[in-house]
Amino acid sequence: MTLKEVAAIVRVPEATLRYWRHLGTGPHSFRIGRSVRYWRTEVLAWLEQESHDPQDRP
């Protein structure tokens, strides 16, 4: 998934996802060339984890 697609699902600005990536929080991401991508399963798992315990972040 692209940064834009994840931002729409999580309902946060793209800049917030970039900041979370910088901090090492948020859904797991990876790079393909210069593009940042996310696995849909990783995003959904992250949302599930956050819904149960939003304070328990790595």
9-29, pLDDT tens digit by residue? 999 999 999 999 999 999 999
pLDDT at residue 5 is higher than 60: yes
Domain ranges of the chain: 3-52
Radius of gyration of the CA atoms of the chain, in A? 11
The mean per-residue pLDDT over the stretch 31-35 comes to 95
Token pair of 24 as six digits: 């090492």
pLDDT at residue 4 is higher than 90: yes
Longest Cα–Cα distance of the chain, Å, equals 34
Task: Provide the whole-model pTM.
Answer: 0.82
- Supply the pLDDT for residue 54: 64
pLDDT band at 36, cuts 50/70/90?
A: very high
Token pair of 5 as six digits: 């697609």
